[in-house]
Amino acid sequence: MLGRDRIAEILGQAMSCSDADMTQASMSIGRWSLTRFANSIIHQNVSEHNAQLSVKAVIGKRVGAATTNKLDDESIRAVARKAFEFARNSPENPDFVTLPEPKPISDVDAYDARTADYSPEDRAGDVAGMIGEAKKLGASASGQLSTGYDEYAVVNSLGVSAYYPSTTATLTTVMAADSGFGYADRFAARVSEIGPIEAAVEAATRSVRSKDPQPIEPGEYDVVLLPYAVTDLVEALAWLGLGAKSVQEGRSFMCGKMGEKITGANITIWDDALDPNGIPRPFDSEGVPKQRIDLIVNGVAKGIVYDTFTAKKEGRESTGHALSPVGAPYPMATNVFMQPGDSSVEEMIASTKKGVLVTRFHYTNVIHPILTIITGMTRDGTFLIEDGKITKPVKNMRFTDNVLERLSNVEMISRETMRQSCTVIPAIKARAFRFTGATEF
């Protein structure tokens, strides 16, 4: 690791090279390593060690930004000069007010030395265990296991100075058993929390149960959606309309709906980057401390997230949701939680007269952002439920559905949740999900 002091020196050097009215400098540096496997054989180990130094320059209401991954003295001077020149030659932004001022930042424990130092041999041992479990169940294993660390820091000319190190471990696997496929993934700040054997058993078992899928007619079905699938619905809401920019531009489903019911009363969704049950992060890309924001409470639209630019347009303070140090086009809720319920997936299945269990969605895309209509396909484990039992695997289907409408028709929510990247999501049972087409696999 480079360390707080050395990163502070680099950022200070970049700041000293800027003649702008206000300047922000940020840096991300780390190492990320990946082991890939297919057909139950490891076929690739890769490792990347990289840095990104970004400078944002403000001249009046003109803003410019530049980025480099070179950290020699001349490159640091050059990126600061480029940011200044970009600002000088940019049109004024009448809505720009200021860079953020410093605020107290909470401590989070997001760094694990073992994860940072996890070796190719360590990852190979985990993958070998997964392959062994797959073979026991008659499945072939494919996927990836990655580990790494990142140091992130932000300073600006108004006094912001923020730094934190973090680690991440991710595992994704797809198991194949003849014509059956099964999926599992895991995300954690610590590799010890990944549980590769458990994930392998989950995916392999599902692949065996998915063999010889049968076609069913498209139409409206009650569905049991595992957390993998529910995550796509919730993250679609975050991307489509839970950020201030989309609301200010009139293209969010939240427009004119604050204080009104937009989902079922059993749905509560919030963003909290400080919760250790997710992947914690203490501040955003502007060095603004993260805040918990209630987005939907008991079905009622309650809040949206802001970066400094969108907040100042409304005379507010940023909630700590800036995405990019060089000026992302919008703030976004990225550490989303959905409130669990008191059911189990087994109870959801048992309560279903006729329906479909969906493991996950694939290639989900937006059709209408204000109406929250999205489309995509099922993948890696889709099953027919009849009279409270899973009776057979079914071929994948395309869906086109309204997210808010479906969340207004949720009958059951699981007590167990799953971490999906930075989100923490339960399973749900919902009425009348719209499948619009069938596939041949």
Helix and strand totals (H; E) in the chain: 10, 17
Q: Which of 52, 16, 43, 18 is nearest to 151 (CA)?
A: 52
Instruction: Give the pLDDT confidence score for residue 327 in this predicted structure.
Output: 62
Alpha carbon 54 to its chain centroid, in Å, reads 23
Direct distance between the N- and C-terminal alpha carbons of the chain, in angstroms, rounded to an integer: 47
Partners of residue 368 on adjacent β-strands: 373
pLDDT computed for residue 325 by the predictor: 79
pLDDT recorded at residue 288: 98
- Angle, alpha carbons 51-273-411 (nearest 5°): 130
Amino acid symbol at 98: T
pLDDT for the residue 440? 87
Distances (CA, A) of 92 to 50, 55, 61, 97: 33, 18, 5, 11
Which ranges of 210-337 does DSSP label H, i.e. alpha helix? Answer: 227-241, 244-248, 308-313
Give CA 197 to chain center in angstroms. 23
Residue 276 phi/psi, 5-degree rounding, is: -65, -10
Contact 169, 190 (CB under 8 A): yes
Per-residue confidence (pLDDT) for residue 329, from 0 to 100: 72
Please report the pLDDT score of residue 421 as a whole number: 87
pLDDT the model gives residue 361: 98
CA distance 202 to 64: 49
Element (H, E) at 350: helix 345-350
List the one residue out of 327, 299, 292, 295 whose CA is nearest residue 100.
327
For residue range 34-64, list pLDDT tens digits in order: 999 999 999 999 999 999 999 999 999 999 9
pLDDT at 350: 98
pLDDT digits (tens, 9 = 90+) for 313-331: 999 999 999 998 776 678 9
Model pLDDT, residue 328: 61
Residues near 398 by beta carbon (within 8 Å), at least 6 away in sequence: 218, 375, 376, 377, 435, 436, 437, 438, 439
Please give the model's pTM, rounded to 2 decimal places: 0.96
From the options 3.30.70.2190, 3.40.50.1000, 3.30.2290.10, 2.120.10.30, give the CATH code of 4-202. Answer: 3.30.2290.10
Distance of CA 158 to the CA centre of its chain: 30
Domain boundaries, the chain: 4-202, 213-441
Please list the ranges in the chain whose pLDDT falls under 50: none
What's the CA gap between 358 and 66, in Å, rounded?
A: 44
pLDDT at 405: 98
